[in-house]
Amino acid sequence: MRRRVLFASLILVLALVSCNIEKTSMVTGAYSSNPFLTPVEVIPEPAGEEVSFLLISDEHIGRTSGGASHNLTNLYAFMDEEEFPFAVSLGDLTDDGRITDAVSSFINNIEDRTGCFLQCVGNHDRHTYGSNYATRLENSHLSMCRYVCGDLSMYVLDNSTRTFTEKQFEWLEEALKADTSKYKIFFAHENLCAGTNLSNTQVMIGFADVAELNKMFSLMEKYKVGLLFTGHSHSGNEVYNSPQGNYAEYNICSFVKTTNFFEPGDRWYKVTVNLTNGKTTVKGYNGTTQQVETNKVFNLPS
């Protein structure tokens, strides 16, 4: 009996070790050097003291079951009216990782209307159909990247395998030390802390373990990163504010809408950052009515 228990324990340990190695290689294997050190400029010089961009998450293009729907016509009309200089997707743009005609059409429509599309990798983008979408971003060195817009630095991070990995944290801190931008924002797919109505009671219901939470929030505190936007939970619209109130995680709603009562979906967001005083307004729109349903304000530290 003891031998069986010992053997089972050994198998479990080996499985966990293998899993960690695989996760590390999947997240950082496409990069031979720090991808955050050389920023990509989204627009040469912002017009005025404010910049606005589209924020969207969990599009799940390709999902046809469960009553899933996408208000693409409304979204494109909204973008045409707003004329955003860039857009951000927080991941799970695909439902199964495949780059289908529908996926390509969606990406092309966003890029044609903005000129720059920042894209996080989601866990669905790594599904076992070849993970083509995730691989495409990694091969372009865009699955982990830093973008700048005037005095605003924006970091696209990858926690699509339930971890940022120590290497990504190492690269991130190296870049933050050298980053002279006045304001900083993080983007990632999986929610760390915010994500349910229990979040603000300090009950951690996100997908990060305590070590990752502490590491991420300590970096945000130390290097004055005011906002972390996350998706993944679909229900969203939850905010975790730091005890000192100098940084926050905002977990947003999904764009895909299903018949599931717990997945309201059908949402997109307009984020406006004042590059002079750091005031950041996040308006959440109902994709069907195109009306503002949520309006949250954050103050980015400088």
pLDDT at 16 over 60: no
pLDDT digit string, tens, across residues 138-179: 989 999 999 999 999 999 999 998 889 999 999 999 999 999
Whether the CB-CB separation of 171 and 36 falls below 8 Å is answered with yes
Q: Domain extents for the chain?
A: 42-299
d(CA 190, CA 10) in angstroms, rounded, equals 30
- pLDDT given at position 257: 83
Distances from the Cα of 154 to the Cαs of 87, 210, 214, in angstroms? 12, 24, 21
Rounded average pLDDT over 66-94:
91
pLDDT at 21 over 60: no
- pLDDT given at position 67: 65
pLDDT digit string, tens, across residues 236-281: 888 989 988 899 999 999 999 877 777 777 899 999 999 999 999 9
d(CA 45, CA 53) in angstroms, rounded, equals 15
Please report the DSSP string for 117-132 in residue order: EEE---SGGGSTTT-H
What class is the 42-299 domain?
alpha beta
- pLDDT given at position 201: 37
Residues with Cβ within 8 Å of residue 58, at least 6 apart in sequence: 90, 91, 92, 122, 231, 232, 234, 254, 255, 256, 265
pTM: 0.88
Q: Where are the beta strands (DSSP E) in the chain?
A: 40-43, 50-56, 87-89, 117-119, 145-149, 152-156, 183-190, 227-231, 238-241, 248-251, 267-274, 279-286, 292-299
pLDDT digit string, tens, across residues 171-213: 999 999 999 999 999 999 999 886 554 444 344 445 567 788 8
Closest CA to 57 of 97, 84, 86, 90: 90
d(CA 18, CA 11) in angstroms, rounded, equals 10
pLDDT digit string, tens, across residues 29-48: 788 899 999 999 998 677 77
